A and B are shown apart, each in its own frame.
Chain A
């Protein structure tokens, strides 16, 4: 009888060595052809795309290959009157891209390139009565946006500008019986949302509210025979969950509950030896998103050739040290 378990099989010829130079070349060249159709399709998230690329370059010690000035000018042009920042020029502002922009400027130690007070005003204005955050003026509520809000304000040192207690109350209302979190109260637990909520609770000093054993168990059940991690039961493994799941485990002090060697082997197998970069699973097309989370995942697993990454903010630890930001982690 065939196996029912959804998983991949890593081929014997899959990459086993970390090809950092190839990845740096891949990211450095990405987006150089702006007429590319795929590039246009993804313009709606460009600011986040830039954050993924720049962060992975910094983790690999290659940030200097990117154009700091061009990027700073681009970000300035994306700040709107309301203070919010858009994904690209002419697009509408949103919390997601406001966070990405602040993260990028933090890498460059240049947050004052934008109007910080206006950013804070924008974030503040998105908090709802029940403590939740809307993503933008149109009102969609999602725990991801709570994370974006506190992460942005933490990087700017302005957490006091929102009602933290109410914000915490809302996040806790999204905690499910399995210890996990969904996008809204009553929603299914999902590794991505769990990352956002544990990150949120870390930044607000509320990690003691997490049931670490229960959640840790749910998270380590994400590891499959291939060594890869999925985001929910019976989903295929995906390198980006090597980040969402792994970082969450690190935050709640249970990273030793997964098989690190097998996960490392899976992540390495997701590299493309020809083009550089990582894909979601072995053999698929690469992209900057999976490249960041592959490298960041390896960093969390102890890869020495890569800088230490902070599990809460997915930024190099040395950048956060410079800012003076040290989010809580459970031991």
Chain B
């Protein structure tokens, strides 16, 4: 099917326009793809739009891509001029076919800098590209740049709003407060959209490193220290990881969330404000992402009623650190038992136990350096069921691998003496969290070995045991 250069030129320009017009006709296009179609139908566009799906017939791709590719490069080398509209359309076409073409994304960055494109356009284009290319590194990289532009813009607005506040005294005028609220809502929406984009990409490709590391980046930059967001993420991901037990990146995300929550909840008081700029905005009027009832009060540093009443529910109504770890270890145990032989689940256990173990060591160190006056704080987090204590006493008789006990477990046991408040809790029917200790982990290992018939499961549980002995058992 030989075509002259002019014919190709005309054809391609039409196709590029067809694609641009498809977006104008239907701003809700949510997926792209190539339609296997070896030959052109007479005089019909290769661009097919059905419901919200945009398809390109495969016969034209081999003409289309090299043509627009070279056209863009000629522009980049200043050998051929392209007006802004042409640049927008051509880069759009290119990136839907080859989203790892870095230079095309860079052209769009420049268009954004001179106001021809708005950031939302590229978030949308990127989202579409990811439906077909869920790993595309350059798409994720461009996305982060675009989000940084959005953050910078909102920061500038936020700053000018604050300056006015300072000039006019404590109370900002209603218009500024509203604008600040709108800004915060915009940030919250952007954040949630990013979570959705990451989620979709994670579903499309197993253990999608780029999608999950982007998700982490977004929280690090747009939800710094926001306990509510981290906790909501932890809750909402529970079901997903249970259905994707091989997805190492998904489980790593939970480890990241746990680590962040632990760090935040170990300080007082944690923040719930959405990060638009630097952390000194915590006391501003910006509320949390999906505000719990007391958010405004909390943002202004006042205690919630729950906080003032006592520490049973932990700070701001969130679980305590021990409760979080307990829930995570339980989830891990359930999955290990339901899905034997998955390395990811054992890897997750190592991570979670390590974080828990580290946190407890830090708490003890904190307590022992401050003396017994802090025992209330520690015991609240480290309460023990009497049965567990008995178990650790029994285990103390076993030496692991013929080696004697190290000093660390002894200190743990001393610190986890039964707390009088525990019996009150038990009477009220609220069990305190059971801690996970080295002995209880060895007990878990023995349990799995007794029950297991799966070769891989046996291999992984023995590796876990070795890890407990080598890495945890020998820590100072």
Distance A86 CA – B102 CA, assembled complex (angstroms):
11
- The answer to whether A235 and B248 touch across the interface, beta carbons within 8 angstroms, is yes
- The answer to whether B341 and A37 touch across the interface, beta carbons within 8 angstroms, is no
Q: How far is the CB of B344 from chain A (nearest CB, A)?
A: 5
- Known contacts: A41-B65, A138-B145, A182-B213. The answer to whether A214 contacts B102 by CB under 8 A is no
Distance A100 CA – B355 CA, assembled complex (angstroms):
39
- The answer to whether B62 and A37 touch across the interface, beta carbons within 8 angstroms, is yes
Q: How far is the CB of B290 from chain A (nearest CB, A)?
A: 23
Taking the complex as formed, is B81 at the interface, i.e. its CB lies under 8 A from any CB of chain A?
Answer: no
- The answer to whether B344 and A233 touch across the interface, beta carbons within 8 angstroms, is yes
- The answer to whether B77 and A138 touch across the interface, beta carbons within 8 angstroms, is no
- Residues of B with C-beta under 8 A to A187: 213, 216
- The answer to whether B145 and A41 touch across the interface, beta carbons within 8 angstroms, is no
Taking the complex as formed, is B354 at the interface, i.e. its CB lies under 8 A from any CB of chain A?
Answer: yes
Taking the complex as formed, is A6 at the interface, i.e. its CB lies under 8 A from any CB of chain B?
Answer: yes
- The answer to whether A91 and B65 touch across the interface, beta carbons within 8 angstroms, is no
- Known contacts: A35-B66, A184-B213. The answer to whether A4 contacts B340 by CB under 8 A is yes
The binding surface of chain B is classed by DSSP as helix
Taking the complex as formed, is B106 at the interface, i.e. its CB lies under 8 A from any CB of chain A?
Answer: yes
- Residues of B with C-beta under 8 A to A87: 102
Proximity bits, B432-470, A CB within 8 Å = 1, else 0: 000000000000000000000111100000010000000
- Residues of B with C-beta under 8 A to A188: 209, 212-213, 248-249, 252
- Residues of A with C-beta under 8 A to B249: 188, 232
- Residues of B with C-beta under 8 A to A43: 69
Interface size class of B (residues with CB under 8 A): 35 or more
Chain A 267-321 interface residues, beta-carbon cutoff 8 Å to B: none
Q: How far is the CB of B106 from chain A (nearest CB, A)?
A: 5
- The answer to whether B102 and A235 touch across the interface, beta carbons within 8 angstroms, is no
- The answer to whether A233 and B248 touch across the interface, beta carbons within 8 angstroms, is yes
Distance A45 CA – B136 CA, assembled complex (angstroms):
14
- The answer to whether B73 and A41 touch across the interface, beta carbons within 8 angstroms, is no
- Residues of B with C-beta under 8 A to A138: 106, 109, 145
- The answer to whether B351 and A232 touch across the interface, beta carbons within 8 angstroms, is no
Distance A178 CA – B252 CA, assembled complex (angstroms):
12
- Residues of A with C-beta under 8 A to B453: 1
- Known contacts: A4-B342, A91-B76, A94-B102. The answer to whether A234 contacts B456 by CB under 8 A is no
Proximity bits, B210-249, A CB within 8 Å = 1, else 0: 0011001100100000000000000000000000001111
Distance A23 CA – B209 CA, assembled complex (angstroms):
31
Distance A84 CA – B218 CA, assembled complex (angstroms):
29
B interface residues with partner A (beta carbon < 8 Å): 61-62, 65-66, 69, 73-74, 76-77, 98, 100-103, 106, 109, 138, 141, 144-145, 148, 207, 209, 212-213, 216-217, 220, 246-249, 252, 256, 259, 339-344, 347, 350-351, 354-355, 358, 453-456, 463, 471
